[in-house]
Amino acid sequence: MINFENVDFRYDGAEEPVLSALTLRIPEGEMCLVIGPSGSGKTTLLRMINGLVPHFTGGTVSGTVSVADRSTAHHRPRDLADLVGFVGQDPFAGFVADTVEDELAYAMESLGVPTDIMRRRVEETLDLLGLTALRRRALRGLSGGEAQRVAIGAAMTAHPRVLVLDEPTSALDPSAAEDVLASLQRLVHDLGVTVVLAEHRLERVAQYADRVVLVPGGGRPVIVGTPADVLRDSALAPPVVALARTAGWSATPLSVREARRSAPQLREQLSGSTDAETVATSRPERDHSSSAIELRDVRVGYGRREVLHGTSLTIDGGQVVALMGRNGAGKSTLLSAMAGLRTPFRGRVRIAGLDPAVLAPHDLVTTVGLVPQQAADLLYAESVDLECRQTDRDAQLAPGTTAAVLARIAPWVPKNAHPADLSEGSRLAVALSVVLAPDPTVLLLDEPTRGLDLSAKDLLIQVLREAAERGRTVVLATHDVELVAEVASRTIVVADGEIVADGTTRRIVTSSPMFAPQVSKVLAPLELLTVREVESVLARTLATSERDGKDQIS
């Protein structure tokens, strides 16, 4: 169905190729997962399938790319629209209509699909992706996760033979992600559709893939194989694979179910250790006398639609707090209110005792910093270097401060690149650096790991931990349960604009089938959340055994 034959690709002005000597064949009716570090070339590979690269991006291609025997060199994206459906990283960038229903119908209108068939397909897609309640909603009023589902639905209604998706679950809550992936599986298994998707959240998708294509970056050859073969020794492995390495299992599990079958001995070993309880309580909340964030009976809305219904909340300094909940629950609106971007029509918001809505720009950036879901909203300069220098000037920082933060979080980002030309993960890294550099008292991050690979996520986690140790307050609105398990001491669950749960992260996530991380599901009822915690318990157990052995000998 999809053929890459000895393909090399280099962007204009680039020193090295993005893809080199790529030969790849993806047959009909297969789900192919593309993985790799941030900025390695995954998006470029996907865009070559429907001709966006090089017809719209420029650059030099050698070799041939064809889809169902149509060469992308001779067929532009519009010539492949009936064959290939494409969903990019930013769903809003691809919208052309005003409402959800009209957007789902647009591709079919362009292809001349009869009206009666259009209506049926729209209804099927609304039901399939849980969009029925949103059918008449304006696209500009959707949350990031809702927009992502609409974009996927708009591509599916045209019934393409090939569906290409760039990070399709990155803004989706765990339940919505499962629904979307189940829908994609039905397309593959029942209709023979070929699905090619790039993802960083491998814990969600690895178990569904037929094959994995690892794009290492730097023009190095891609690695192709089964998910188990490629992920077994990869640094990009999901938690269940990393847990298998730690436990020394011979099989490589790709799902929680597979891992639980191999875990009884490990569970018994961990449950018999007195160190397990020590590790499970080793993330206490820091006790600070002053409140960094205070909301009292806050009500916020968009037009006539109220989103937050009398929210009251206090967060102390030095905490890392996760906001979780379904798409459209009100998490982003809550962050916007904290940042002073949404003025409540009732109640009050105080950040470090101040009203963020009335702060002068310089005082605002040192008091509260917000990284929105659309990271590009913060970036205005013509290059990454200029963006960093402008931030230094605006925040009155020493020259090079912002660039140093970026070099730590994302050293791969080219300084002379225009932010619009970067991958979603690289743009996010630049936006994070712009907000982190002034070291604000309160840091608000909306889906901060979207587009970041595991190594970049680890660097971000370290930065956030250090900020909390300095007494800064970090609030994350995220669907990344693995991130929450690693870094958050407190988790707040939001539903329909109201706080429905608030407590320690360990208590909240271990009691929730939706928000529990993979390690917690595999080792339940033990309250261990991450592979790092398992490694810590095993290391302490080994040290205790060795000490006891020496005592017996002596």
Q: Of 176-185, 248-257, 384-393, which range is least confident?
A: 176-185
Give the 3-state secondary structure of residue 318: coil
Where are the domains positioned within the chain?
A: 2-234, 238-272+517-554, 291-515
Rounded mean pLDDT, 109-126: 91
pLDDT at residue 164, as a whole number: 95
Amino acid found at 342? R
pLDDT at residue 275, as a whole number: 56
pLDDT in tens, 469-524: 999 999 999 999 999 999 999 999 999 999 999 999 999 999 988 899 999 999 99
Which of 146, 153, 145, 142 minimizes the C-alpha distance to 184?
153
Which residue's entry shows tokens 């595991």?
Answer: 454
What CATH class has 2-234? alpha beta
pLDDT in tens, 285-343: 554 557 899 999 999 988 778 999 999 999 999 999 999 999 889 999 999 999 999 88
- Return the CA Rg of the chain: 24
Write down how long the chain is: 554
- 8 A C-beta contact, residue 203 and residue 518: yes
Which of 494, 475, 472 minimizes the C-alpha distance to 483?
475
Rounded mean pLDDT, 214-242: 91
2-234 and 291-515 share one fold: yes
Rounded mean pLDDT, 54-62: 89
pLDDT band of 369, cuts 50, 70, 90: very high
What whole-number distance in Å separates Cα of residue 382 and Cα of residue 387? 7
Is the pLDDT assigned to residue 550 strictly greater than 70?
Answer: no
What whole-number distance in Å separates Cα of residue 385 and Cα of residue 270? 49
Q: Is 179 exposed, middle or buried (0-12, 13-18, 19+ CB in 10 A)?
A: middle
pLDDT in tens, 243-286: 999 999 999 999 999 999 999 999 998 887 655 555 655 554 55
Neighbours of 474 (CB within 10 A): 24
Looking at domain 291-515, its CATH architecture is: 3-Layer(aba) Sandwich (3.40)
Q: What is the mean pLDDT of the chain?
A: 89
Which of 8, 25, 26 minimizes the C-alpha distance to 17?
8
Which of 336, 423, 437 minimizes the C-alpha distance to 387?
437
pLDDT in tens, 428-469: 999 999 999 999 999 999 999 988 888 889 999 999 999 999
What whole-number distance in Å separates Cα of residue 51 and Cα of residue 48? 5
What share of the chain has pLDDT > 90, as a percent? 62
pLDDT at residue 545, as a whole number: 61
Neighbours of 1 (CB within 10 A): 21
pLDDT in tens, 75-87: 898 889 889 999 9
pLDDT at residue 180, as a whole number: 86
Is the pLDDT assigned to residue 119 strictly greater than 90?
Answer: yes
First to last CA, the chain: 70
CA distances from 160 to 85, 244, 254, 551 (A): 6, 38, 28, 69
Q: Is 123 exposed, middle or buried (0-12, 13-18, 19+ CB in 10 A)?
A: middle
